[in-house]
Amino acid sequence: MKTIQGPAIFLAQYMGDEPPFDDYRTAARWAGDLGFKGLQIPTWDPAAIDLDQAAASQSYCDDYRATLAEYGVEPSELSTHLQGQLIAVHPAYDALFDGFAPEAVRGNSAARGEWAVQQVKKSLLASKNMGLASSVTFSGALAWPYVYPWPQRPDGLVEEAFAELARRWRPLLDFAGECGIDLCYEIHPGEDLHDGATWERFLEAVDGHERANILYDPSHFVLQGLDYLQFLDLYHERVKMFHVKDAELRCDGRVGVYGGYLPWGERAGRFRSLGDGQTDFKGIFTKLAHYDFPGWAVLEWECAYKDNLVGAAEGARFIEDHIIEVAKVTADDFAASGADQAMNRRMLGLDQG
């Protein structure tokens, strides 16, 4: 068994215009002071990383890692959540998602999509240069507006959506293979890959590509009423990344899982800071230890109530307390009999005349 790496923190919800979050160096110092050991880096933010340089220059990546090391942290993974989202956008969301792209390609879905493809490629190259194993992204969504089957979906609609999704992602998965990087999709409502069934459909469409893997975030499963522990039993071989994020689902006679268009704090399902929700993290960390999860435990803060700085400070301690230092011996090793193969055969009655 492996001991999970961490704690790490995703900087996407922290980077901004004010210190210490206006530069990755000062953000790294802040994170290291809290006890974090890794940083998941949002590649769309130039204050967090220069993606062009990271993709093109080994020396830039070496210097970047050395700078982080001064503050006791290292890069855990690079993220292209926003760019990956733009690889597949239903027209209903064009105006909203245009904001994720530079002005030069806004209003032009083809140009925007090509920009997104190049961004994901650069992140994969940068991940290779950083010596990382995985990179995280979103799948985007073509079928999401039809998630509830009313009016009745025409035959073949979902199949065509996933076939197109696979056509767009297959070349990037091949490129990820060339780079030696696992491309992990965060399974997330709003994406076409939002539960186990949709993951299976996509994996089949890309012919079980070995570089197609999963970022596991149990909070998104709590909000769907999905068994997030069994999800690990089913898909652990593909789970290569882990967002440690809490949530609660408290349905009543007024609001259920769809949320009634209410703001986060008033929905039945909402994200919470670690330990404030309903997620069984002891069960999750045990499952991940059992299945030899190879990656990092990464805090993602998205609480509906608690301040993000408080959530980070509490979260570092929470993750540290939940990481299982896996056993190097078994409990009954002291009683080992020292039997060898010959004795085993005698005990089974296999070597008796």
pLDDT in tens, 75-92: 999 999 999 999 999 999
Number of domains in the chain: 1
Please report, rounded to a whole number, the percentage of residues in the chain having pLDDT higher than 90.
Answer: 92
Biggest alpha carbon distance in the chain? 85
The mean pLDDT value for 153-173 works out to: 98
CA pair distance 39, 31, nearest whole angstrom: 8
pLDDT at 130 over 90: yes
Note whether residue 115 is domain-resident. yes
CA pair distance 317, 332, nearest whole angstrom: 32
pLDDT at 336 over 70: no
pLDDT at 340 over 70: yes
Note whether residue 352 is domain-resident. no
Residue pair 295/133 in contact (Cβ under 8 Å)? The answer is yes
How far, CA to CA in Å, does 236 sit from each of 6, 27, 67, 128, 242? 19, 32, 33, 24, 11
Q: What is the pLDDT of residue 298?
A: 98
Note whether residue 27 is domain-resident. yes
- Mean of the per-residue pLDDT values of the chain: 96
Residue pair 69/39 in contact (Cβ under 8 Å)? The answer is no
Please report, rounded to a whole number, the percentage of residues in the chain having pLDDT higher than 70.
Answer: 97
Q: What is the pLDDT of residue 205?
A: 98
How many H-runs (helices) and E-runs (strands) does the chain carry? Answer: 13, 10
Q: What is the pLDDT of residue 341?
A: 84
CATH number of residue 149's parent domain: 3.20.20.150
Q: What is the pLDDT of residue 345?
A: 82
Three-state DSSP string of 285-342: HHHHHHCCCCCEEEECCCCCCCCHHHHHHHHHHHHHHHCCCCCCCCCCHHHCCCCCHH
pLDDT at 337 over 70: no
pLDDT at 10 over 80: yes
Note whether residue 114 is domain-resident. yes
DSSP string of 202-262?
HHHHTTT-TTEEEEE-HHHHHTTT--HHHHHHHHGGGEEEEEE-EEEE---SS--TTGGG-
Note whether residue 217 is domain-resident. yes
Tokens 């939940």 sit on residue = 322
Give me the domain span that covers residue 282.
Answer: 5-347
Q: At what angle do helices 24-34 and 308-322 cross, to 10 degrees?
A: 50
pLDDT at 33 over 90: yes
pLDDT in tens, 239-261: 999 999 999 999 999 999 999 99
CA pair distance 173, 130, nearest whole angstrom: 19
pLDDT at 333 over 70: no
Note whether residue 353 is domain-resident. no
DSSP string of 122-171?
HHHHHHHHHT-SEEEE---BSSGGGSS--SPPPTTHHHHHHHHHHHHHHH
Q: What is the pLDDT of residue 168?
A: 98
Q: What is the pLDDT of residue 332?
A: 62
Beta-bridge partners for 270: 248
The mean pLDDT value for 194-220 works out to: 98
Q: What is the pLDDT of residue 346?
A: 82
pLDDT in tens, 265-304: 999 999 999 999 999 999 999 999 999 999 999 999 999 9
